[in-house]
Amino acid sequence: MHAKIAVLPGDGIGEDVTGEAKKVLEAVAERFGHQFMFTSALVGGAAIDAFGVPLPEDTLALCRKSDAVLFGAVGGPKWDDPTKPVRPEQGLLGLRKGLGLYANLRPVRLNPLLVDASTIKPEVLAGTDLVVVRELTGGIYFGARGRTDDGKSAYDTMTYTTHEIERVLRVAFELARKRRRHVTSVDKANVLECSRLWRETASQMAAQYPDVQFEHLLVDSCAMHLIRRPASFDVIVTENMFGDILTDEASMLAGSMGMLPSASLGEGTRGLYEPIHGSAPDIAGKGIANPLAAILSSALLLRYSLNLETEAAAVEAAVDQALAEGYRTSDLASPGMRVCGTSEMGNLVAGII
């Protein structure tokens, strides 16, 4: 297979971890006889410094011409001045909108070898294997916002259409059919009108999937049950802001945000793949960042954009083997483990492949 992959390291540890994910994809190409062409571009704070905008037109054009996008992270204290009109995060939001990526998949699978890395009791964590499907291009993050003239009142508007809700729900139901056939739709229908529309639409969609077990859950109850009974969930689907919060909570089930990948998908096969962690500027360039979330994101790239399931499984198996051999980055380390740096972990996974 020939594939064009856009690489957008972004800021902070984004460059550190995407470099290791690229290394692993190169190992996949060598082992399985593929040709992957990588082209890098700026986004986020790095793009603001170079061009004054977080998403240059050339970067978006490159992504549109590519089969998939491997993304790092954006943001950092350097660009945190709230008085400035441009922020690094606008680059990622613009990419999602510009590429039509409306469904974010965040799998949370607990590797039994990492059970000690989580603060949750092992007996509660046992069997945890879920996916959160988060709507990406609607809701309060994209609604009208502003302040009154005197600056003493502010507003952010949440809006959703049935079309936006239906398309992300369909992703969740189709995914559930390939897993354990259970969908949990999360909303705040006891308070929000948008959530009442979401709940009505979800109930109608569920009727089209009689083979999938379906339930509604309020977002505050979901937040509680993710800690109380995480193994009971299969596919969770929810709107933009709720998904943003719940997935960060769910990441702690796996012991570290450095372990969780994500895929942002739309119509067709092009997707954007990124670790869910942030740019962690305090450790950028020090060679200690955990690259496994980025590497596992590259596995999702192989699976969803390139339809290379065997290759995706090989990457995931290689990560499991490296952990089984006792290797850990510092965020996962416990007594008796072999602590290694960013590049060493990437080399281990690539070497196993």
Query: Under a CB-based contact definition with an 8 Å cutoff, are residues 60 and 92 in contact?
Result: no
- Long-range contacts of the stretch 273-276 (C-beta < 8 A, 24+): 273/68, 273/69, 273/70, 273/71, 273/297, 273/298, 273/300, 273/301, 273/305, 274/70, 274/71, 274/72, 274/73, 275/17, 275/72, 275/73, 276/106, 276/247, 276/248, 276/251
Q: Considering the candidates 102, 244, 304, 331, report the single residue annotated as catalytic.
A: 244
Cα–Cα dist 127/122, whole Å = 10
Q: Considering the candidates 188, 234, 327, 331, report the single residue annotated as catalytic.
A: 188
| 331 SS3 class | coil
2-10 and 68-73: which strand pairing?
parallel
Cα–Cα dist 292/125, whole Å = 20
| 300 SS3 class | helix
Cα–Cα dist 315/222, whole Å = 31
Q: Is 49 a catalytic residue?
A: no
Query: Under a CB-based contact definition with an 8 Å cutoff, are residues 37 and 25 in contact?
Result: no
- The DSSP annotation for 256-293 comes to -GGG-EEEEEESSS-EEEEESS---TTTTTTT-S--HH
Q: What is the dihedral of CA 61, 66, 71, 74, to 10 degrees?
A: 0
Determine which helix (DSSP H) or strand (DSSP E) holds 129, and give its type and residue range.
strand 129-135
Q: Is 141 a catalytic residue?
A: yes
Q: Considering the candidates 4, 129, 248, 320, report the single residue annotated as catalytic.
A: 248
Distance of CA 95 to the CA centre of its chain: 14
Q: Considering the candidates 16, 23, 67, 141, report the single residue annotated as catalytic.
A: 141
Residue partners of 84: CB distance under 8 A and separation at least 6: none
Cα–Cα dist 251/296, whole Å = 14
Pull the structure tokens for residue 73.
């992270």
Q: Considering the candidates 116, 220, 282, 286, report the single residue annotated as catalytic.
A: 220
Q: Is 121 a catalytic residue?
A: no
Structure letter (DSSP) for residue 169: H
Would you name the residues annotated as active-site residues?
A: 141, 188, 220, 244, 248
